[in-house]
Amino acid sequence: MTTHTDHAEISILVDRLFQALDERKFAADWARDFLTDDVHMETPLGASQGTDAIRATEEALGRYDRTQHIASGIIADANAEMGRATASWNALMTHVHHDATLQEYGADADPLFTVGGRFKADLRRTPNGWRFSRIAVRPIWTKGQPPLGVGA
């Protein structure tokens, strides 16, 4: 049974992860505050695991000048005795293109690439609290053009 404490901790973890992605404070071990060492990530750009998943996340965000990720409707189902949980949430992800991307796309290019999607995650309780062991993002809709070299 999910306690209010578990739900609150998982919700805060989602919010803190999105804030970290948008602030891009990628110190060498930034991901330890959010992810297990063996995390498995699935995005429209592909699947990756462990340190490769962390680097892929940093690279994907680097394709944009700025981003803003907003989560809502977080649903968590935790089994504290087993130290396992699942979570899902809606996300609105706004990406601001680099000037070079806009120049390449032309004068009428939309500076924003916006994605509405759904996240699903598995979590494990560690000595430092809940951490994501799997994150999958599924786009539901997009508006604007993705960065150069990335299909719609």
Query: Across residues 102-119, what is the average pLDDT?
Result: 95
- The CATH number of the structural domain formed by 4-143 is 3.10.450.50
In the prediction, which pLDDT does 152 show? 53
From 89, 86, 59, 93, select the one nearest 74 (Cα to Cα). Answer: 89
pTM: 0.93
User: For 126-137, what is each residue's pLDDT tens digit?
Assistant: 999 999 999 999
- Say whether pLDDT at 150 is over 80: no
Stretch (H or E) spanning 78: strand 64-79
Cα 68–chain centre separation: 11
User: For 1-11, what is each residue's pLDDT tens digit?
Assistant: 778 999 999 99
From 89, 71, 83, select the one nearest 125 (Cα to Cα). Answer: 83
CB under 8 A, 24+ apart: contacts of 42-49? 42/134, 42/135, 42/136, 42/137, 43/136, 43/137, 44/137, 44/139, 45/150
